[in-house]
Chains A and B, each alone.
Chain A
Amino acid sequence: MDFDLTDDRQMLSETLRRYLAESYPVPHRNAVAYEAPFHDPAQWQALADLGVIGALVPEAAGGFGGAGFDISVVFEELGRGLCPEPFLGALLAARLMLAAGEDVSELMAGTTHYALASAEIDAPYAADLIATEARAEGGGWRLTGRKSAVYGGQVAARFLVTAKAEGRLALFEVPAAAATVAGYGMIDGGGATELVLDRTPGRLMLEDASEALAAAEQAGIVALCAEAVGLMDVSHAMLLDYLRTRTQFGRPIGQFQALQHRAVDMLTEIEQARSITIAAAAALDGPDAGRMAAMAKSLIGRVARQVAEETVQMHGGIAMTWEAPVSHYAKRLVMLDAQLGDTDLHLARVMTGYAA
């Protein structure tokens, strides 16, 4: 048994933490995260140069990581720093491109942005229910449909698009220039797009993408859970700091037992969240990856909301302001439940396992 990070990962974690704290403080983050292009292109490149994307890719494909714990180390730090850079899209794309045997060197260098376009309004979480269709035409494929919640879509040069092709769930590549892309900012920072396809030409990447997509989403879930753990650690630390310094009724509010016990409950839940994330990271790419990802995302969805709401409540009015960093952490914590399946969807997946 060993719960320590390898030296390499420890170093990655520390480098990234230091870098984000120095170069990407929350005020700068807020200045870029809510206005187009909803991130900082220079920081994206700097982080790519630091090896952030390389850490998400296995050595065999030119990277230096790619395992569950590489992903969790990176995203936990991105969470701590409240970083709005679209690395989730890069992770999902890298996984899918590798499944299709494609070259990811440009993706890893950060020079070409990719985004996964799979969710639709009536199928926000489950790809098997999508309506977008691909038809064979004149030796190629043409796609028709509308994709939603394409994270990082504004800056993507290439979209990886899921579509039903002859009854199967297939994956295509569509260059941004070929489709209609409508972007918007998100309440928790960062950007996303709608993607409208109308007999748009696409290059077939995977004829049957179901398994590759599920595996990519499991990696994405590890990333989101780790991000949440980072966000929760910082939120909790900010709360404790406030409980120690804010005085009302002649004493620090942290001396009120009504608040103390709730801060302890949060600590308990955050430790549980950390554990399930470790379990999901360890299980990634193995036989239990699906079940553990579902458990992790379900637990995180529940606990992240609790931590966000309690952090705000116990701060009082100050946490209701845009000015207070803690409010932006709370928004991100709540909203990440709506990415790659919410707490109920994953609870249902865990329950499905009981039938057998």
Chain B
Amino acid sequence: MDLSYSPAELAFRDEVRGFLAANLPARISDAVRAGGELDRQTMQDWHAILAARGWLAASWPKEHGGPGWSPVERHIFEEECCRAYAPRVVPFGVSMLGPVLIRFGSERQKAAYLPRILSGEDWWCQGYSEPGAGSDLASLRTRAVREGDHYVVNGQKTWTTLGQHANRIFCLVRTDPEAKPQAGISFLLVDLDTPGIEMRPIRLIEGGYEVNEVFFTDVRVPVGNLVGEENTGWTIAKFLLTHERTNIAGVGFSMQALEEVKALARKIRRGGRPLIEDPLFAARLARVEIDLEAMKITNLRMLYRAQKNGQPGPETSILKIKGTVIMQELRDLARRALGPMAAPFPGPATEGNLTFGPPDSAHNAARYFNGRKTSIYGGSNEIQRNILTKTMLEL
């Protein structure tokens, strides 16, 4: 048993650290630190910086333009990016569709789309969920009917994250309504410019705009945009879910949030002393810090196992459940620390030269409410428990 990184891994860490120090613009890290929504350009700029170094597509093999990192190296990279307040890489093209195309795509699809993901020419979004198909994804009803060399798509997707920035969407569609639900689904690439597509914004609980509804009316999609065979979409979706689940514990982000809460609690005064000296608040903080410390190791243990076995196992659901709860607790603590100063909406109030609350109070309540999504999406924490019940408890 040895919990430390190898000399090679340490050298890699230093390389990443050096790269970030030299290449992450303060303008971008400041925007991340401020905690609000990032605009499209900021995300694009960061992608371009990573792409120039060959580090954008962390999970891709070398021959497709990835760095060919091991799971542990990927973890180190994520960890360092969080420490430096780099933006989270938008996952839909790089972490979701890329690996799908590499595994299931035709040569033509790989050649057409992979470079455009790396260059930032394409921004993909994920069209899985529907109003009637959330946890029960296999019940999806968006229809694709073959007509000559096109599929004609009708239906509705929803919860499409950052669809407003995207030019393409990958969809699960029903191609065989007679088959068993899982057996009649196909994976389709759709250009959002195609006539018949309408995107409408959904405003979230905290007032932000990051998800959309997408309506399809007689949308003609070339059959060449089918990934894999017709009616094998479910297999692809399941493969993609395991990719979506790497780094699911979000340890780096929680470490960031922990430091922020500590800084806040040192600055805020409550009962005539810094809040961090309040034993009740400190106890809440300590409890989360202990959970996080354990989670770091749980995460590494599972990474290690994934590296040894060549793929993540069902126990990644543990990372999803506990990782999201830790992050949500930290967001709760930030909001709690600020008390009434967390309330201003949207963001801190300014009038003339007056600002309400400490300058870094902005967005804390909003982040707490927005963060409730993490235990709902990507397979809700209830669904993760069902998976664990089946796969690990064998009940």
Q: Which residues of A contact B (CB under 8 A)?
A: 34, 119, 121-126, 129, 148-149, 180, 182-188, 192, 194, 196, 248-250, 256, 258-259, 305, 309, 312-313, 316-317, 319-323, 327, 330-331, 334-335, 337-339, 342, 344-345, 347-348
| Given A182-B349, A313-B372, A335-B343: A187 in contact with B365 (beta carbons within 8 A) | yes
- Other than the given A258-B385, A322-B203, A342-B336, 20 more pairs (CB < 8 A) read A119-B340, A121-B357, A121-B358, A148-B356, A148-B357, A182-B354, A182-B356, A183-B351, A184-B348, A188-B343, A192-B343, A249-B139, A250-B139, A258-B386, A313-B380, A317-B376, A334-B369, A338-B340, A338-B342, A344-B278
Q: Which residues of B contact A (CB under 8 A)?
A: 129, 134-136, 139, 158-159, 202-207, 269-272, 278, 280-281, 284, 332, 335-336, 338-346, 348-352, 354, 356-358, 365-366, 368-369, 372-373, 375-377, 380-382, 385-386
Give the residue of A121, A124, A187, A322 whose beta carbon is less than 8 angstroms from that of B204. Answer: A322
Give the residue of B136, B341, B381 whose beta carbon is less than 8 angstroms from that of A249. Answer: B136
Q: For residue B376, which residues in chain A have a CB less than 8 angstroms away from its CB?
A: 312-313, 316-317, 320
A246 to chain B, nearest CB (A): 9
A232 to B332: give the CA distance in the assembly, Å. Answer: 19
Q: For residue A345, which residues in chain B have a CB less than 8 angstroms away from its CB?
A: 270-271
Q: For residue B357, which residues in chain A have a CB less than 8 angstroms away from its CB?
A: 121, 148
Q: For residue A249, which residues in chain B have a CB less than 8 angstroms away from its CB?
A: 135-136, 139
Give the residue of A125, A182, A313, A322 whose beta carbon is less than 8 angstroms from that of B205. Answer: A322
Q: For residue A321, which residues in chain B have a CB less than 8 angstroms away from its CB?
A: 202-205
CB-based closest 10 A-B pairs = A184-B349, A149-B340, A182-B351, A322-B203, A187-B345, A248-B136, A327-B205, A186-B343, A344-B280, A122-B269
Q: State the majority secondary structure of interface residues on B.
A: mixed
Interchain CB contact under 8 A, A187 and B366 = yes
Instruction: Name which residue of chain A comes closest to B278, CB basis.
Output: A344
What are 23 residue pairs bridging A and B, where the CB atoms are less than 8 Å apart in the complex? A34-B345, A125-B339, A148-B357, A182-B350, A183-B351, A186-B343, A194-B354, A248-B134, A249-B135, A249-B136, A249-B139, A258-B382, A312-B376, A313-B376, A313-B381, A316-B134, A316-B376, A320-B204, A320-B205, A323-B203, A331-B205, A344-B281, A344-B336
Give the residue of B344, B366, B386 whose beta carbon is less than 8 angstroms from that of A184. Answer: B344
Instruction: Name which residue of chain B comes closest to A339, CB basis.
Output: B340
A81 to B192: give the CA distance in the assembly, Å. Answer: 41
